Amino acid sequence: MNFKTTKRVKIHTGYKCNLRCRFCYYGEDLRGEDCTTEKLKSFLKLASERGIKDVDFSGGEPTIRKDFVELVSYAKKLRFRNICVITNGFMMADKEYTEKLVDAGLNEVLFSVHGNSKKLNDYLTKVPSSFERLMEAIKNIKSLDVRFRTNTTVTKQNYKSLADFARLFLRLKPAAVNFILFNPFYSTSEQETEMTPKFSECSPYIKKAVDILNPKIGKVTARCIPFCFMQGYEKHVCNSFQVKYDSDEWLPHIQARVEEVNPLKYHAYGLLDSVLSKIFSDDSKIFSLLDDAIVWSFVNSYYTKPDECEGCKFYSICDGVKKGYVRTFGTKEIKHVPGEEIKNPAHFRRNYGSYGE
């Protein structure tokens, strides 16, 4: 079976943010310089010309930019189908500002929800009232009938509360829910120790949350967790090899063209895509191969597959374990799952989720 690939990319607006999340690995970059308006418009134009239909504005926090309404309006002018912002919701607690964004063309929001209560959320974000403002922002978006999704970074501090998160989401009714395990990509060793939950300890809580949500929420995804810890729930796993088949994720070879801040030095892949796009049509299989090369580069840079993974039926479709995770916990909890090896990355998601158009 052939699967369609996503037509979405992320536009990184800069590192600046109005929260100071304990698990954020950007650190000092949060006070760095943002990308210019014209540069971001050039990225949007490039993505549009390459057939991208959906865009996520990301940061840092995009909504603190003075030109953000202008950027949304420009995306609408380019006729993007879905114009989304990934946000902590702090600014969008202002109903008038939110209405300006929606009038400009914003028609989708991905809210970062890291605590299911004021105490937990404000602790993790290190900003009092962040939870109250987030809930107000969601209320504003719902009143304007705008599609919204949620991201939750799963940490040591919140994983035991995931069932309560699920009950909160049942009340809020997002279109999709993402649980993303804390990513020790470029974090400090202190962050890895303080924030990273063990797979074996948090996976039962993720599964419980999925059980609560699955009958009511159309799409529930778990990210950055090996397949072996999600047996029976494999269709919910969307890691590096699955992203290009998920319409809420980003197309690798186009992302490489517009990504100038990625530590993988995607610029080289962007140049390659630039050359290939002058030779081949956008539907050429060459770009699928380029996508795979980019994903493999990412996985090989940040992940490892220890000896325990050998012979696992998920070996070909699983990222493995982050190198930072191994530094913190080792590999003793990793267990290979016997069976015929699965080689199609979208094998479990063939009847689940959306794969772009």
Please give the Cα distance from 15 to 136 (Å, whole number): 24
pTM: predicted TM-score of the whole model, two decimal places: 0.94
319-354: b (≥16 Cβ within 10 Å) or e:
bbbbebbbebbebebbebbeeeebeebbebbeebbe
The first and second tokens of residue 108, run together, are: 């989708």
Write the DSSP symbol of residue 62.
G
pLDDT at 357: 47
H/E stretch holding 180 reads strand 176-181
Q: Name the residue type at position 304.
A: T
The first and second tokens of residue 129, run together, are: 């009232």
Please give the Cα distance from 129 to 119 (Å, whole number): 9
What's the first-to-final CA gap in the chain, in angstroms?
A: 16
Write the DSSP symbol of residue 292.
H
Phi, psi of 33 (to 5 degrees): -80, 140
Looking up tokens 């590999």, which residue turns up? Answer: 331
Return the SS3 of 150: strand
Which domains, and CATH codes, for the chain?
8-349 (3.20.20.70)
Please give the Cα distance from 8 to 56 (Å, whole number): 7
pLDDT at 32: 55
The first and second tokens of residue 117, run together, are: 């209560």
Say which residues have a Cβ less than 8 Å from residue 275's Cβ, sequence separation at least 6: none
Whether the Cβ atoms of residue 196 and residue 184 lie closer than 8 Å to each other: yes
Triad 153, 236, 313: Cα angle to 5°: 115
Please give the Cα distance from 8 to 227 (Å, whole number): 25
Whether the Cβ atoms of residue 168 and residue 130 lie closer than 8 Å to each other: no
| Rounded CA Rg of the chain | 20
Which parts of the chain have pLDDT scores under 70?
Answer: 1-2, 27-33, 184-189, 260-266, 353-357
Q: Which of 110, 350, 332, 354 is nearest to 235 (CA)?
A: 350
